[in-house]
Amino acid sequence: MRFQRRQLLRTLSFAFGSSFILSRNQLGIAAQTAIPPKVSPPPAGAAVRNGIAGGTEMEKVTGIGGLFFRARDPKALGRWYQQHLGISLTPSSYEDSVWQQEAGPTVFAPFEETSDYFGDAHKFWMVNFRVRDLDKMAAQLQTAGIAVKIDPQSYPNGRFARLHDPEGNPIELWQPKVPDTKG
């Protein structure tokens, strides 16, 4: 049990970019230096909805620190993600760096158990990756023999495409719409 705990904590430290300090009776987490997101003041009446009650703001997570899932062949699947999507694998030492994603919007949305949005009803998760240029990414994947279906519709929040990894897990690519900065 102790080994599994240490292994989990090591994996989490890589994923979160923090340093875990392990001792027999304590666990400390070294704080990360990050620029806090700019947050607009909540609209009137939103205090309780947003977890602010009694004048005390609720502590919130700052983003997704990792995505963990089961695979039939984790090493091969990890190499596929690295080769085709540029996602660095979990480092094997503290000196190696983890995949650094760019700052940007992240959607967190549980779906109904009966949703067909993921495709195969036996798949319980789908990851959505932001991309700068959806057409270039799709062409790169198609050149590698990976089927990609670009949604022909452009939405107010951007453009989307679908593909599946070698184990059939659904992947959505999202090119966020760039706000119009012209006055």
The first and second tokens of residue 176, run together, are 């966020």
Output b/e per residue, 156-167; b: 16+ Cβ within 10 A: eeebbbbbbbee
Which of the four pLDDT bands, split at 50, 70 and 90, describes residue 183?
low
List of residues 6+ apart from 84 with CB closer than 8 A:
140, 141, 144, 146
pLDDT at residue number 92:
87
DSSP states of 16-82: HT--EEE-SS-EEEPPPP-PPPP-PPPPTT-TTTTTEETTEEPP---S--------SSHHHHHHHHH
Specify the higher pLDDT residue, 28 or 41: 41
Distances in Å between the alpha carbon of 94 and those of 3, 15, 60, 90, 121? Answer: 17, 11, 27, 10, 38
Beta-bridged to residue 27, according to DSSP, are 22
Tell me: the pLDDT tens digits for 118-165? 888 888 899 999 999 999 999 999 999 999 999 999 999 999 999 999
pLDDT at residue number 131:
96
Tell me: the pLDDT tens digits for 61-115? 888 888 888 999 999 999 999 999 999 988 888 888 888 989 998 888 999 999 9
List of residues 6+ apart from 11 with CB closer than 8 A:
66, 68, 90
Rounded to two decimals, what is the model's pTM? Answer: 0.66
Which of the four pLDDT bands, split at 50, 70 and 90, describes residue 40?
low
Of 6-10, 19-23, 100-104, the one with minimum mean pLDDT is 19-23
pLDDT at residue number 38:
52
pLDDT at residue number 151:
97
The first and second tokens of residue 46, run together, are 């939103």
Is the Cβ–Cβ distance between 82 and 74 less than 8 Å?
A: no
Is the Cβ–Cβ distance between 72 and 44 less than 8 Å?
A: no
Does the pLDDT at position 26 exceed 50? no
Q: Are strands 52-53 and 149-150 parallel, antiparallel or unpaired?
A: unpaired
Tell me the average pLDDT across 41-66: 67
pLDDT at residue number 62:
81
